[in-house]
Structure 1
Amino acid sequence: MSAAHRTAMRQQADACDRLGSPFTARLLRLLADRLDGETAVGARVLGWPGDPLTTGDAVALRLAGGLHALVLSGADEALARVYANPGLGDEQLWQAIACMLNTHDAHLQHWLDTPPQTNEPARSAVLIAAGHWLTARFGLELELLELGASAGLNLRWDAFALEVQGQRFGPADAALTLRPDWTGPPPPATAPRIAGRAGVDLNPLDPARDRLRILSYVWADQGARLARMRAALDLAAKMPVEIAQGDAAEWLEQRLDLRRPGVLQLVYHTVVWQYLSPETDSRARAAMARAGAAGPLARLGMEQDHSGQPGAAIWLDLWPGGRVDLGRADFHGRWVDWQAPAPG
């Protein structure tokens, strides 16, 4: 294994540890230490021609997802037993994985073909709070426009509820109730009204057809995340949303021209912007600046900012109004440090 591939898997293992998945961290460290080129899957991973890092092709998470899918689908009972007993030693875990590399080559090759898509519905805690804040600020209906929407689970955040500091934000019969560790003031009580919703992705997933793939990218030892994902996918099957396939900037240029009176267009993205090409980045920023000059517009970002602080930065760009820092949040929605100013 090249130094770059070892580094990629170990860096991802460190991230799994930080994000509460010690089993996946151990799995990836075993792969980093022991994977060789004697199987077709091993040879492909070791000879990967692109960028193996998580910020590139995320090869480690592709392979981890493929293995988890074998467990979720019931395709391999032996591997499922090992996954159900995380206290087993490294030798037993590795022997089970090594066997899978041979037995399920076609399946694992298929999972290596495409990058993982997180679809983390717990990020909707930030979207719910921001939706309430924007409604209190502008008093307008919201049109939701998500970049990097994947299966669109976070385009349905108004059907979820947020419970923080003894208060509930969202419907009483919510499909999913989010309870992150919350610091800072609660969001305003002004309930948002949604006028429409749509998203774009280079490779949109279908919540029904791609259910196994979406679930497989949730780390195997995180039962609460799996339960949230299943609830969000169940809702998505009953609540269709338009997800276009295409370039984010080109799509945004077209959608921002379709504004309606009395509606605030909310463009948002969660852990997506780092994957955009420089051209798409530039075109998307220019499209929002043009649209904002013609009327009210909001952009919500939840993104890694390499500041050395935990989690992702959360902010709003408002036209009119400029940049508003909202605080920080865990990448998987476990906690939110909400530092938004009063919306007035």
Structure 2
Amino acid sequence: MTASRDRADLIRAHFRTQAAACERLGSPFTAALLAGLAERMEPAGALEARVLSWPGDPGDDALALRVAGALHALARAGRDPEVAAAWPPRAEGDAVAVARAAFVRQAEWLAPWLDGPPQTNETGRSGALLGGLLALADLTGGMPVELLEIGASAGLNQNLDAFRYDFGDGRAWGPPDSPVLVRHAWRGAPPPLDARLEIAARAGCDLNPLDAADPAARARLLAYIWPDQAERLARAEAAVALAVARPRPIETADAAAWLETRLAAPQPEGRARVVMHSIMWQYMPAAVQARIAAALTAAAARATAARPFAWLRMEPDGETGSAAVTLTLAPEGGERLLARTDFHGRWTDWAGRAPAPDTEK
């Protein structure tokens, strides 16, 4: 067996693995598309040859999601009627055959989509992040928050306090007239919905931020939402419109350098400073992670009761099927696992209301 054949088999296995993940996460169309491409792709044209000979780690590079996003973008762009007809909401015909034909017919248009990783801004995750902020508010007696988000993408979740949430069982939070409705099932013992949450200041950074007001950036953001998940698409479109109406400019910056500067700035008395991120830590080089960890440790060491510091994150921790929602609070409170949550924000299973810092043993 040749090296090129071995490489192609590795790529096909990656597509199958991603297809299984898409099935678990509620996108049967994307699952079937990627599974079909795994079986039927051949290096018949330049684009398929490029995919099947991908030089990097296909999993780390999210290669299958690059391909899926490129095809969804083509379907949404209205420049290829055959692809548009084969993709949801119509989903007519053999999507795999249509995709393979498009690889040849639209190769020049599709190729740039393989050059960079998928970039998403999943508003469904705000249901877990909001709960983390409510837990913090409960612990600090409703102290106003200065929110610092790294890996903020288009900054959609900078407006998380302007969304309307339906947590199930008659539980809701946020403005009833918000254009963004997040349906996110809360299970277990969640944080108190009546905790006083005030975001007094907010800022964010990203290596490649997307401008919600830019049509090309919007197209890129929406392309990576799976096409058969109509509610996710509608929610993202509404969140983009809200971000245009209530802009939260995201700075183009390395997360470590940005945080080092932000955390060194004076913190007003009576304000809790919070660093927040979701599903981005794994994508940073180890050296950047180390710098951020050092900056967070230094900020925690400087914290006082009048100027507390918190680190809220939603990140994978090796447990299959969910991410950990973790809160670290200084000077008192320590680190606690608040919940486990679905990667796309369909549900959160809360561990229970956090005890006040002075009751911890």
Q: Deviations over 1:134-158 (max 9, x none)?
A: 1121131111111111111111101
User: Equivalent of 1:163, from 161, 166, 169?
Assistant: 166
- Aligned partner of 1:17: which letter? E
Q: Check if 1:105 corresponds to 2:101.
A: no
Question: Is structure 2 residue 263 aligned with structure 1 residue 261?
Answer: no
Q: Percent identity over the alignment?
A: 46
Give matches, 1:229-240, under 5 Å. Answer: 229-240=236-247
Q: Give 1:36 shift.
A: 2.0
Structure 1: stretches of 5+ with no match in the other structure = none
Among residues 290, 297, 306, which one is paired with 1:282 in the alignment?
A: 290
* 1:27 lines up with 2:33 in the alignment: yes
What does residue 151 of structure 2 align with? 148
Partner Cα distance (1:234, 1:315) in 2: 30
Match of 2:346 in 1: 334
Letter in 2 for 1:114: G
The alpha carbon displacement at 1:294 in A equals 0.8
Gaps of 5+ in 2: 1-6, 357-361
TM-score, normalization: structure 2?
0.90
Per-residue CA deviations over 1:266-314 (Å, capped at 9, x if unaligned) read 1111111111111111110110110111111111111111124x31111
Relative distance call for 1:284 and 1:77 in structure 2 (3 A) is same
Q: Does 1:4 align with 2:29?
A: no
Question: Is contact 2:259-2:295 (8 Å) kept?
Answer: yes
> Following the alignment from structure 2 to structure 1, what is the Cα–Cα distance between the partners of residues 213 and 230?
20
Amino acid at match of 1:268: M
What residue is the counterpart of 1:197 in the other structure? 202
Q: For 1:246 and 1:25, how far apart are their aligned partners in 2?
A: 34
Shift of 1:161: 2.2
> 1:12 & 1:278 partners in 2: Cα distance?
25
The 10-residue stretch of structure 1 (321-330 or 165-174) with the greater mean CA deviation from structure 2: 165-174
Other structure's SS at 2:72 match: helix
Give the TM-score, by structure 1 length: 0.94
Q: Provide the aligned length of Structure 1 versus Structure 2.
A: 339
Partner SS state of residue 63, structure 1: helix
What SS is found at the alignment partner of 1:175?
coil
How far, CA to CA, are the matches of 1:4 and 1:214 in structure 2? 28
The answer to whether 1:118 aligns with 2:120 is yes
CA deviation profile, 1:176-227 (whole Å, cap 9, x unmatched): 1222222123422123111111111111111122011111000111111111
- Specify which of 65, 68, 73 is matched with residue 72 of structure 2: 68
- 1:317-332 pair list within 5 angstroms: 317-320=328-331, 321-332=333-344
Match of 1:2, SS state, is helix
Q: 1:215 to 1:74 in 2, by over 3 A?
A: same
Give CA-to-partner distance per residue, 1:101-133, whole Å, 9 cap, x none: 112112211111111012110100012112222
Distance across 1 between alignment mates of 2:89 and 2:134 = 43
Query: For the residues of structure 1 that align with 2:196 and 2:163, how far apart are their CA atoms?
Result: 12
Counterpart contact for 1:144–1:265, Cα < 8 Å = yes
Question: Offset at 1:249?
Answer: 1.0
- Mapped partners of 2:14, 2:120: distance in 1: 18
CA 1:86–1:51: 2 relative to 1, 3 Å: farther
Cα displacement string for residues 300-329 of structure 1 (whole angstroms, at most 9, x for unaligned residues): 111111124x31111101112211111111
Within the alignment, does 1:301 sit opposite 2:333 as a pair? Answer: no
Counterpart contact for 2:151–2:277, Cα < 8 Å: yes
